[in-house]
């Protein structure tokens, strides 16, 4: 027997032995290895809910801010269902496609500007084919502009209790301000089932044909996983592979949301595992047993919760995280929470050790000194002392406008601490823009950063030059 052939036989033997051994392992243990590897992904978040009661049977990073991608279209359709139910819109109404809608990136139906489509057909294209052009066209039909519709989406989200969700477009195409959580998406899924069950069938359709073009639903779990009958997929490079799904077995319905999958297959397999475990828990409860999904999946220890901004193109995943670029000044004190409040909030530069934090006695002495000096000032901009020129850096952004928007949002949110601070957007390395609140004393900077830290907003205190 030749050496090459012998090596092939040995390799086959190992593979067959491993496969046999895997088959001998109990299902719970077999799924644990896959579960562990899947949940190591930093974008991962998941939740399992009872659709009737809203009881959360399982959650992991469920409140971590994530990019919903095309799952955003669930809210676009919720508002469409609302308009249909109120009579403001009818299924046979005609939508004229605008140049803005026609210019959307795929997935899309591909209609040119000026062409028309019915509301009913547009809904199918959105639900089944995830057509970005139709989502925008529907938004413009209902609200007059996509921007106005995005505001309606956000307001409706907050009205439904989706407190950590913000929409900036109707499609879910890459936008650093378009954020949500697994918990919020589950809330929206329950709202659709509760408020507009007559339209839920749209999410169950496996295909859609328009002008002779056949398009399959992106949710490949339909008809393949027992009981799965609807909801929506989503993907952009910064989000990973997302899926909100619902399944009914017997007289019970579950909602599963998984965000940040490494591939379609890995995501779908994990969602199937969560459904199996969830229905198993409900079945055991009916027999008087006490168990949880986490116990059945042998849940690993919690992982980090990091989100990176999407690229403008939304293609590919560059890896890594969005980091505050090193400032030319030395860092005086740095506060780094476990999770940023905003997806493009900065992670502090951890390459340099922070300077010793002041004791409470020193802080009170500093506050007293500040109060004495404040009484002698005639205006904030007359300050000249170097130790009153501290800055609080809150992020580094791809575009100047993003930095300005972040400063405006945080200035409003922390107005008690930052009302007198100057806002500064400074160019940094590699085309980034630093967002800073400047003109603060050390004590003011520390107080502002402490307030942000309490709400999981990362910040970095930068000492004055010299």
CA torsion sign, 54 to 55 to 59 to 65? Answer: positive
Cα separation, 91 vs 89, in Å, equals 7
150-154, 184-188, 329-333, range with the lowest pLDDT: 329-333
pLDDT above 90 (res 15): no
What lies within 8 Å, CB to CB, of 429 at 6+ separation is 325, 326
pLDDT 10s digits, 45-89? 999 999 999 999 999 999 999 999 999 999 999 999 999 999 999
Q: What is the mean pLDDT of residues 437-442?
A: 86
pLDDT for the residue 9: 45
From the list 31, 43, 70, 441, the catalytic residue is: 70
Q: Quick one: 345 exposed, middle or buried, by C-beta within 10 A (0-12, 13-18, 19+)?
A: buried
Cα separation, 14 vs 173, in Å, equals 45
CB-CB contact of 435 with 406 (8 Å): yes
pLDDT above 80 (res 338): no
pLDDT above 60 (res 386): no
- Per the prediction, the chain carries an average pLDDT of 76
Closest to 314 in 3D by CA, of 107, 73, 74: 107
Containing 333, the helix (H) or strand (E) segment is strand 331-335
pLDDT above 70 (res 465): no
From the list 43, 73, 108, 141, the catalytic residue is: 73
CA end-to-end span of the chain: 77
In the residue annotation, 315 being an active-site residue is answered as no
3-class secondary-structure state, position 53? coil
pLDDT above 50 (res 348): no
Q: What is the mean pLDDT of residues 148-153?
A: 96
pLDDT for the residue 430: 61
pLDDT for the residue 14: 38
Q: What is the mean pLDDT of residues 166-195?
A: 96
pLDDT above 50 (res 244): yes
In the residue annotation, 246 being an active-site residue is answered as no
Q: Which two tokens stand for residue 107?
A: 């997935």
Q: What is the mean pLDDT of residues 98-126?
A: 96
Question: What percent of the chain has a predicted confidence (pLDDT) above 90?
Answer: 49
From the list 130, 171, 239, 391, the catalytic residue is: 130
pLDDT 10s digits, 249-303? 999 999 999 999 988 999 999 999 999 999 999 988 888 887 778 776 644 333 3
Of the two residues 49 and 6, the one the predictor is more confident about is 49
98-112, 300-314, 328-342, 448-462, range with the lowest pLDDT: 328-342
pLDDT for the residue 459: 78
Q: What is the mean pLDDT of residues 453-461?
A: 75
pLDDT 10s digits, 21-47? 333 333 333 333 344 344 445 789 999
In the residue annotation, 53 being an active-site residue is answered as no
Q: What is the mean pLDDT of residues 412-437?
A: 79
Cβ neighbour number for residue 313 with a 10 Å cutoff: 11
pLDDT for the residue 155: 96
Return the residue matching tokens 């004229």. Answer: 96
Query: Domains plus CATH for the chain?
Result: 26-297 (3.40.710.10), 331-366+384-462 (3.30.70.1070)
Q: Quick one: 158 exposed, middle or buried, by C-beta within 10 A (0-12, 13-18, 19+)?
A: middle
Closest to 419 in 3D by CA, of 444, 386, 397: 444
């Amino acid at each position: 027997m030749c050496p090459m052939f012998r090596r092939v036989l040995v390799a086959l033997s190992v593979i067959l032995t491993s496969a046999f051994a895997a088959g001998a392992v109990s299902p719970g243990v077999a799924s644990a290895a896959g579960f562990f590897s899947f949940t190591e992904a930093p974008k991962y978040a998941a939740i399992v809910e009872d659709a009737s009661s809203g009881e959360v049977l399982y959650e992991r990073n469920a409140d971590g801010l994530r990019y919903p991608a095309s799952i955003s279209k669930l809210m676009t359709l919720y508002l469409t269902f609302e308009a249909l139910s109120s009579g403001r819109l009818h299924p046979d109404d005609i939508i004229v496609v605008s140049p803005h809608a026609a210019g959307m990136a795929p997935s899309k139906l591909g209609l040119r500007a000026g062409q028309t489509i019915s509301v009913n057909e547009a809904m199918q294209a959105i639900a089944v084919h995830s057509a970005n052009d139709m989502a925008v066209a529907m938004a413009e039909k209902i609200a007059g502009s996509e921007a106005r519709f995005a505001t309606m989406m956000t307001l409706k989200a907050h009205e439904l209790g989706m407190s950590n969700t913000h929409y900036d477009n109707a499609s879910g195409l890459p936008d650093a301000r378009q954020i949500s959580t697994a918990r919020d998406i589950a809330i929206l899924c329950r709202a659709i089932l509760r408020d507009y069950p007559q339209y839920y069938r749209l999410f169950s359709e496996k295909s859609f044909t328009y002008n002779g073009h056949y398009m399959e639903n992106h949710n490949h779990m339909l008809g393949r996983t027992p009981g799965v009958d609807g909801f929506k997929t989503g993907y952009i490079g910064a989000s990973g592979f997302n899926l909100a799904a619902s399944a009914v077995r017997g007289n019970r319905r579950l909602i599963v949301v998984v965000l940040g999958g490494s591939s379609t297959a890995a995501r779908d397999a994990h969602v199937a595992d969560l459904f199996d475990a969830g229905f198993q828990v409900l079945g055991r409860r009916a027999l008087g047993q006490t168990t949880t999904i986490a116990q059945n999946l042998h849940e690993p220890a919690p992982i980090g919760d990091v989100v990176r901004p999407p690229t403008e193109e939304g293609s590919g995943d560059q890896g890594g995280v969005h980091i505050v670029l090193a400032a030319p000044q030395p860092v005086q004190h740095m506060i780094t929470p476990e999770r940023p409040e905003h997806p493009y909030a900065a992670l502090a530069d951890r390459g340099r050790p922070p300077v010793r934090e002041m004791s409470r006695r020193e802080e009170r002495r500093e506050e007293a000194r500040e109060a004495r000096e404040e009484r002698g000032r005639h205006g904030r901009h007359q300050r000249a002392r170097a130790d009153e020129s501290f800055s609080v850096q809150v992020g580094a952004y791809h575009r100047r406008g993003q930095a300005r928007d972040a400063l405006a949002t945080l200035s409003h949110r922390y107005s008690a601490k930052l009302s007198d601070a100057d806002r500064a957007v400074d160019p940094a390395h590699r085309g980034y823009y630093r967002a800073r609140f400047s003109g603060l004393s050390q004590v003011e900077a520390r107080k502002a950063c402490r307030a942000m830290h309490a709400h999981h907003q990362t910040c970095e205190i930068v000492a004055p030059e010299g």
